[in-house]
């Protein structure tokens, strides 16, 4: 071994020890903050996670150029924040299961891998876990860029006091997973939607393989972990959980495929400076009522990013309108807009303000 190599490795060892000491110092400071919050008689699990503050931390560390790049720094610091958050009270997070789904991956991307994760069978079960206190937060899908809204998520938030605390935007990247990278592939397992999303890629690379639909992409990965001569189309996190090889990433035919998730909880999120608000309202039964309601946002200089209607399910042909707009419910122009909207509507409810993904 050359003397130059030895010296460089010694330097790396020294830097690693310095990083470990700084991480220890950061952890102790995080504990000081957690204890201060607990002294105010708040729920520890909920207050340890503050989306606006975490967004600020990530912005600070990515504001200057780094050899690692922004994405790598975000991933590293998400894990550091996760480790600090869990020093005193592990954050309990329910997600739409089973394990290794994209909802699970979204939860890990947001809370880090050190959280205490609880899979649930439906969005309503996720909500129940949070309402009961068995989970501090929940992660549920709300919208896909190609398929549209997840209506059950919208409907349940209208009926609950649980708030949206944050949003996660996850690129849906299907991976081709195998147990043995050298084995012949005779069968490909996945959910029917995932198989459809990867139809062209499969036809090009494995035209003779048998396509077998299963209940979820996670179930596909689980099957392949126990079978020879088979492959699964599933998420990257599924490869880690079921100890599979990623033969190729991004095998879906459409590259621009994102799913938006809500983080839901019992706490309201403070303004971060770049926020979004989700709100639902029902207009009065008169000509021009919807026009008058939407005009309020324009006059208040509020930028609507989404609007859609859903049946109220309480009266035939009666609709409620879901809107997303930039800003926080504590912003003065939005406070005025909501007050005006309340005068023009029979029902108005803010579902939560949160940092924009």
Residues annotated as catalytic are 259, 261
- 146: tokens are 């190609």
- CB of 230 closer than 8 Å to CB of 176: no
Distances 286 to 180, 280, 299, 318, 349 between C-alpha atoms, Å: 65, 18, 21, 12, 20
Phi, psi for residue 311 in degrees, rounded to 5? -60, 140
Rg (CA), the chain: 23
Give dist(CA 91, CA 192) in Å, integer: 33
Q: How far is CA 139 from CA 72, 134, 161, 307, 312, in A?
A: 23, 14, 16, 22, 24
Strand ranges inside 76-199, DSSP E: 92-96, 116-120, 137-144, 148-149, 163-171, 175-178, 187-190
Cis peptide before 286 (omega within 30 of 0): no
C-alpha–C-alpha distance, residues 114 and 100, integer Å: 15
Query: In whole angstroms, what is the distance from residue 173 CA to residue 258 CA?
Result: 9
């Amino acid at each position: 071994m050359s003397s130059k190599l030895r010296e460089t490795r010694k330097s790396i060892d020294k830097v690693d020890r310095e990083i470990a000491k700084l991480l220890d110092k950061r952890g102790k400071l995080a504990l000081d903050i957690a204890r201060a919050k607990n002294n105010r008689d708040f729920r520890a699990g909920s207050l340890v996670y503050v989306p606006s503050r975490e967004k600020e931390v990530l912005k600070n560390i990515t504001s200057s150029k780094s050899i690692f790049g922004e994405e790598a720094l975000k991933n590293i610091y998400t894990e550091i924040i996760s480790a600090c958050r869990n020093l005193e009270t592990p954050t309990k997070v329910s997600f739409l299961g089973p394990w290794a789904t994209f909802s699970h991956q979204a939860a890990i991307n947001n809370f880090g891998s050190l959280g205490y994760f609880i899979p649930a069978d439906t969005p309503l079960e996720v909500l129940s876990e949070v309402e009961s206190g068995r989970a501090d937060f929940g992660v549920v899908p709300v919208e896909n860029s190609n398929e549209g809204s997840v209506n059950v998520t919208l409907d349940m938030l209208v009926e609950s006091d649980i708030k949206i605390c944050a949003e996660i935007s996850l690129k849906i990247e299907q991976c081709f997973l195998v147990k043995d990278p050298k084995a012949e592939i005779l069968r490909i397992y996945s959910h029917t939607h995932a198989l459809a999303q990867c139809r062209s890629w499969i036809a090009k690379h494995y035209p003779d393989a048998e396509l077998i639909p299963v209940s979820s992409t996670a179930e596909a990965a689980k099957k392949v972990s126990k079978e020879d001569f088979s492959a699964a189309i599933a998420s990257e996190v599924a490869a880690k959980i079921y100890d599979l090889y990623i033969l190729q990433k991004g095998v879906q035919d459409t590259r621009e495929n994102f799913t938006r998730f809500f983080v839901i909880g019992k706490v309201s999120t403070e303004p971060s400076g770049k926020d979004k608000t989700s709100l639902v309202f029902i207009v009065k039964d008169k000509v021009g009522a919807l026009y008058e309601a939407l005009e309020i946002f324009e006059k208040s200089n509020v930028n609507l990013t989404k609007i859609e209607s859903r049946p109220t399910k309480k009266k035939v042909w009666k609709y409620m309108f879901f809107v997303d707009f930039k800003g926080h419910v504590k912003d003065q122009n939005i406070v005025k807009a909501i007050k005006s909207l309340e005068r023009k509507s029979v029902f108005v409810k803010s579902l939560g303000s949160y940092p924009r993904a």
